[in-house]
Amino acid sequence: MQLKNASILIVDDDTDVLTAVRLLLKTVVHEVVVEKNPENIRSLISKKQFDLILLDMNFNSAINTGNEGFFWLREIRKMKSTSSVIMITAYGDIDLAVRSLKEGAADFVVKPWHNEKLMVTITETLKRKTATGNAGAPAQQPFINDLLGESAPMKDISYKIDKIAPTDANILILGENGTGKDIIARAIHERSLRKHGPFVKVDVGALTESLFESELFGHKKGAFTDAREDRPGRFEMANKGTLFLDEIGNLPLHLQVKLLSVLQNRQVSRLGSNDMIPIDIRLICATNVPLSELANEHRFRKDLIYRINTVEIIVPPLRNRGRDIILLAQHFSEQYSTKYLRSPAVFEPKALDKLMKHHFPGNVRELQYIIERAVIMAEESTLKAEDLIFSPIEKSYEGPAQAEETTLNAVEKNTILRVIEKHQGNITKAAKELGLTRTALYRRLSKHDI
């Protein structure tokens, strides 16, 4: 929709705000209607369909909970209005504004605003409405189920999910522990053409070698000592749906061969049976092992990598997601305030600063733990900096992240040190994993003064 054709309603109890916005918009849009009393919203939108509503979050100067804004946002939705709604909030209520996105608002603006920023927000909201035909959340939603984020990396992930979900392409999700790889996998399933089929998750790293085939491929009664009845495997259970293999990087080489065979032939045979059962699945895999390490054929078969990795999604660590930390913290505080029957938690500025300065080695999972504990233990509904206790099970981190060495020599040296440390100084095992002879590894140790 073009801005010049738009009809906009502004609801705010501040006359100065109404006057300022009306003067700003009256020459660039088709119609501007201003209203001080929110009680008149029902009457106004029953008589006229507005393209956009700017709605204040607080109409009582003595009470700044934002509840009035949420109430009227819900009322607008109850009336089946197709109007996009932009919430107007004070700077101190920005967490409430973020919450309003979950309630169906298209965006929010913070008072006092710059006119240029307000115009961009209005224009982009109207463009999204035209593109999606949806008055609610923006086309690039900040939520993917429980995956919350507005940072550039998360927007890129959301874009990729929208592109690949409707296909049957195999997906490999890479990222550190605790970044939310399983949530992304489920989001892909729920946006796919298989969303009405099963979503079956298997933690490959937790399977013993003796259970691998039975769990994935199933077994016939009597196939082994404890096989007291026929049992389908996870591949069969996921038929017509999605199979999610988590921690695929931990799969031993000899078991990778068996998995590759099933993926190539698209059929399984239960243990104790020669009958082949066709399978129709969408495969999603995830690992915390970097792709560069997976590419080492002493660790992972390249033909299997190509089979599971039609498209890859790299999930960034929380420390690289900027103010997503605050959005997630607010999300978890609302979640646990409801769960534990507490008043809605609000963060004081120092608490938010403390979160933003933390390195989060445990990623989103660590943040979730911190906020849950704070909501339970805090004496007040306002969460203070001292209420946020960082997890003792994660390695402490002091100071800003150090710049990574990027030279080829530095990369080689760091890789060698990491592999030797992994094998507790065993040069033979380290050389084998690195794809080198012992002599070649010793030459490189001498080269790097290790």
Run of H or E residues at 8: strand 7-11
Question: How does pLDDT run across 396-419, given as a tens digit for each residue?
Answer: 444 443 334 445 677 777 788 777
- For the chain, state the CA radius of gyration: 27
Confidence of residue 34 (pLDDT cuts 50, 70, 90): very high
Can you tell me whether residue 314 is helix, strand or coil?
strand
The angle at the Cα of 251, spanning 364 to 395, to the nearest 5 degrees, equals 35
Cis peptide, bond prior to residue 361, ω within 30 of zero: no
Alpha-carbon span 416 to 429, nearest angstrom:
12
**Domain extents in the chain:** 3-132, 152-314, 318-387, 408-447
| Range with lowest mean pLDDT among 21-30, 236-245, 411-420 | 411-420
Structure tokens given for 131:
């593109």
User: Is the CATH number 3.30.70.3170 carried by domain 318-387?
Assistant: no
Residue type at position 373: R
Q: Determine the average pLDDT of the residues in 278-286.
A: 94
Q: Determine the average pLDDT of the residues in 292-300.
A: 81
CA-to-CA separations, 299 to 25, 291, 311, 395, 433, in angstroms, rounded: 62, 11, 21, 27, 7
Question: How does pLDDT run across 119-169, given as a tens digit for each residue?
Answer: 888 888 887 776 555 444 433 334 444 467 888 888 889 888 988 999 999
Q: Given this structure, which CATH class describes domain 152-314? A: alpha beta
Whose structure tokens read 């204040």? 56
Alpha-carbon span 92 to 110, nearest angstrom:
9
Q: Given this structure, which CATH class describes domain 3-132? A: alpha beta
Backbone angles phi, psi at 171, to 5 degrees: -120, 135
Number of H helices, E strands in the chain: 18, 18
Question: How does pLDDT run across 332-367, given as a tens digit for each residue?
Answer: 998 888 888 888 888 999 999 999 999 999 999 999
- Do 3-132 and 152-314 fold alike per CATH? yes
- Number of residues that this document lists for the chain: 450
State the pLDDT at residue 392.
Answer: 73
What are the respective helix, strand and coil percentages of the chain, to the nearest 5?
45, 15, 35
The answer to whether residue 389 scores a pLDDT higher than 80 is: yes
Structure tokens given for 172:
């490999």
User: What dihedral angle (degrees, nearest 10) is formed by the CA atoms of 350, 352, 358, 361?
Assistant: 150
Query: What b/e string do you get for 415-435 counting C-beta neighbours within 10 Å, with b at 16 or more?
Result: bbeebbeeeeeeeeebbbbbe
Question: How does pLDDT run across 300-319, given as a tens digit for each residue?
Answer: 888 899 899 888 999 999 99
CATH of the structural domain 408-447, one choice from 3.40.50.1980, 3.30.230.10, 3.40.50.2300, 1.10.10.60: 1.10.10.60
State the pLDDT at residue 407.
Answer: 58
Structure tokens given for 45:
């939108």
What is the dihedral sign for C-alpha 49, 52, 53, 57?
positive
Contacts 24+ apart (CB under 8 A), 407-416: 409/448, 412/444, 412/448, 413/448, 413/450, 416/441, 416/444, 416/445, 416/448, 416/450
Evaluate whether 98 touches 63 at the Cβ level (below 8 Å).
Answer: no
Evaluate whether 188 touches 164 at the Cβ level (below 8 Å).
Answer: yes
The answer to whether residue 63 scores a pLDDT higher than 80 is: no
Confidence of residue 41 (pLDDT cuts 50, 70, 90): very high
Evaluate whether 236 touches 287 at the Cβ level (below 8 Å).
Answer: no
